[in-house]
Amino acid sequence: MGPLPPKSILGKSSYEHRPSSAFNSPFWTTNSGAPVWNNNSSLTVGARAFFTKPGGANFDRERIPERVVHARGASAKGFFEVTHDISHLTCADFLRGPGVQTPLIGNFDLVGNNFPVFFIRDGMKFPDMVHALKPNPKSHIQENWRILDFFSHHPESLHMFTFLFDDIGILQDYRHMDGSGVHTYTLINKTGKEHYVKFHWKPTCGVKNLLEDEAITVGGANHSHATQDLSDSIAAGNYPEWKLFIQVMDPADEDRFDFDPLDVTKTWPEDILPLQPVGQMVLSKNIDNFFAENEQLAFCPSIIVPANAPKCVYHNNHHEGFMNFMHRDEEVNYFSSRFDPARHAEKYPIPTAICSGKRDKCIIEKENNFKQAGERYRSFAPDRQERFVKRWIEALSDPRVTYEIRSIWVSYWSQTDKSLGQKLSSRLSGFERTADHHLFEMLILEVPTISFTVIPQDAKVLNT
């Protein structure tokens, strides 16, 4: 018998003892221990004016220097060219007229997600969502039960899952993917008039995806296949190209719809708000240094660019800090100063709407979580629907997915499409009978012994 673990002054083993902290509280708190009465909604003014989500600063720094959410990626250089005049919608200089080119990579950052919607409605839950999708912190294994547990609390995720569990859930490579802004943005013209817009990138070479067996073959042969495809294509002169389109909505019309146009889990109907062409992006040059031009890239879609200056001089008083490699030799690092001629920049139009409302944490009125998901599922061909069902059966058959969680998901999909719910229910009922019979056999076998068998929470046989 080995030596006993060291004892703390409280009589507990040192590995059992946790210092007194907010971790021990029976309710959610801030890092300073203040109670949190709503850990699901961002702070708002009224129902729709969101403030920065708490915990975001900590979440962004959980992994340094690895990127927490997307640890792998690729970069290339090229240009964006305006092909259609939208100067009546915006005063952004790089969009001032057809023929205007902006080199890439610049300082206007526009997200291009391959799906047009997102899992969650409120950014407050983004760190929790990523934690659920990432590997189990105990075993470091990505597991379906954790994912399905978390999203069972968020029925707005159904629309996103109709993309993720569809045949288009696995991209072939970077060149053959759509890019969607997902969020609703605002364009403001020189008179201050604003319009809501959604951005859409469409690859000229079409969208291509991989089914499960194809993904295993391609990924097994080369885990950097998408990066290599991009690099090889550019080197061969086969430059990837995307067309940029926008959907435009007058804010005065936003209440016409049965969903909130600012809801990231919803798409805008293209028959009512058609795609309008804006320009094209061409990637024509590979990067010269992967670390400097890929790993150190930091994007911020909230940056507003009134001037066409993707590689520009800058002037501020931010100094030092983590990984700061800029050479600076000025003596005045404060404002205002009579030794530094720097002045305020020209003022550009900002939205004229006045934000007012009760300071609160609100849930939007028109959630409508099931309609668009159902419409998308019904648009699939029968064989495509069957593959979608099989993927969900596999996910819900995870041994640690409880009966309660499976029931919630069947209920959600039934509200999305009645026939889809019936298919899932009938196939899962067979799985549950088999699982219960197996558990019953385990219990019989274990009775004569003095050992334990850990039974999943949904073992209904325990209640009989």
The single residue of 39, 113, 209, 308 carrying the catalytic annotation is: 113
The single residue of 70, 140, 327, 344 carrying the catalytic annotation is: 70
Cα 263 to Cα 371: distance, rounded to the nearest angstrom: 14
* Sheet order of strands, 44-45 included: 49-50, 44-45, 359-360
Residue 84 annotated to the active site:
no
Cα 310 to Cα 159: distance, rounded to the nearest angstrom: 35
Residue 315 annotated to the active site:
no
How far out from the chain centre does Cα 12 lie?
42
Look at residue 176 and give its three-state secondary structure: coil
Within 10 A of 411 (CB to CB), how many other CB atoms are there? 15
Give me Rg for the CA atoms of the chain: 26
Rounded to whole angstroms, what are the CA distances from 365 to 46, 369, 374?
12, 11, 20
Cα 103 to Cα 116: distance, rounded to the nearest angstrom: 26
**376 Cβ contact partners less than 8 Å away, ≥ 6 residues apart:** 159, 162, 163
Crossing angle for the helix pair 382-396 and 144-151, to the nearest 10 degrees: 100
* Residue 177 near residue 115, CB atoms below 8 Å: no
- Asked, as a colleague might, if the bond just before 336 is cis with ω within 30 of 0, I would say yes
Cα 241 to Cα 339: distance, rounded to the nearest angstrom: 48
Instruction: From 249, 268, 263, select the one nearest 363 (Cα to Cα).
Output: 263
- Asked, as a colleague might, if the bond just before 306 is cis with ω within 30 of 0, I would say no
Instruction: From 439, 368, 373, select the one nearest 402 (Cα to Cα).
Output: 439
HEC assignment per residue over 203-240:
ECCCCCECCHHHHHHHHHHCCCHHHHHHHHHHHCCCCC
Strands (E), 226-353: 241-249, 276-286
Q: Which residues pair with 81 in a beta bridge?
A: 101, 280
What residues are annotated to the active site? 70, 113
